[in-house]
Amino acid sequence: MKKKFDIIPAIDLIDGKCVRLSQGDYAKKTIYNENPLEVAKQFEDIGITRLHLVDLDGAKKGEVVNLKVLEAIASKTNLVIDFGGGIKTENSIQSVINAGAAIVTIGSLAVKQPELFYSWILKFGADKILLGADVKDENITISGWLENTDINILDFLSQNISKGLTQAFCTDVSKDGMLEGPSIDLYKKIIHQFPNLIFIASGGVTTMQDVNQLEEISCGGVIIGKAIYEGRISMNELKDYIKDVG
């Protein structure tokens, strides 16, 4: 059976606006749209069913900031939303789910407080928790890419899968926002080692050829941001692709 493959556009939020950063640098931000709901509706209109919503203010502050934007998109579209940024407590997970997120994305906390992260997988269910792993030279990097670790991505995933994790995305920070193509070799390794993991590619996707390649290697989906906003991948191309896949 052919694996399900999701096109997952990213909307990154600062001050309630749709922005993109280059390599996680808040000083290098581009505002693409003042109204994220408008952007989300455009995606839904072409057949997109899933959205990756990132609260960059929240990530910086250490608590969820852009809850109102999540509520607006969740209540006015049928998109399946995964939401991340600033989620540090059980209460914040609950408030994000209550606001309409189907899935909660956790990044650095899973590295710094693994036992707490495992407890959330148990409490909320693996279908509600998405691990976001940032990687540089195949090692985990945390805190908005400011801290490198010597934790290998394959060991890290193995540990989390043994605790019940079923879905993860991985961003090669050297690629993100640089429009240089995704880390195919790394992703192949991950998919080969963990065939049952729902694995989502992220970072570096520039063309529909990249998207095709990620589907071919059996990724469960791809998160695309800058390439859409800068017109390298057009809405029409995405629409045609979704039609063909559907």
Question: What pLDDT does 1 receive?
Answer: 44
User: In this structure, is residue 118 part of a structural domain?
Assistant: yes
Range of the domain at 201: 6-245
Query: Biggest alpha carbon distance in the chain?
Result: 45
> Which residue carries 């109204």 as its tokens?
35
Question: What pLDDT does 173 receive?
Answer: 83
Q: How far is CA 115 from CA 91, 110, 123, in A?
A: 17, 8, 12
> Which residue carries 């899968």 as its tokens?
161
User: In this structure, is residue 1 part of a structural domain?
Assistant: no
User: In this structure, is residue 128 part of a structural domain?
Assistant: yes
Active site residue 244: no
- Please report, for the domain that includes residue 65, its CATH number: 3.20.20.70
Centre a 10 Å sphere on the Cβ of residue 53 and count the other Cβ atoms it contains: 27
CB 101 within 8 Å of CB 52: no
Which one of 6, 12, 55, 82 is the catalytic residue?
12
C-alpha 177/C-alpha 130 separation (Å) is 21
User: In this structure, is residue 93 part of a structural domain?
Assistant: yes
Active site residue 12: yes
pTM, full prediction: 0.94
- Per cent of the chain over pLDDT 90 is 81
204: Cα within 13 Å, side-chain hemisphere: 20
User: In this structure, is residue 209 part of a structural domain?
Assistant: yes
User: In this structure, is residue 182 part of a structural domain?
Assistant: yes
Question: What pLDDT does 175 receive?
Answer: 74
Question: What pLDDT does 138 receive?
Answer: 93
Number of domain units in the chain: 1
Question: What pLDDT does 244 receive?
Answer: 84
CB 172 within 8 Å of CB 184: no
Provide the residue-wise pLDDT of the chain in tens; the chain has 246 residues. 456 899 999 999 999 999 988 777 888 888 999 999 999 999 999 999 999 999 999 998 999 999 999 999 999 999 999 999 999 999 999 999 999 999 999 999 999 999 999 999 999 999 999 999 999 989 999 876 678 899 999 999 999 999 999 999 999 887 766 667 899 999 999 999 999 999 999 988 999 999 999 999 999 999 999 899 999 999 999 999 998 876
Which one of 6, 55, 57, 134 is the catalytic residue?
134
Question: What pLDDT does 4 receive?
Answer: 86
User: In this structure, is residue 61 part of a structural domain?
Assistant: yes
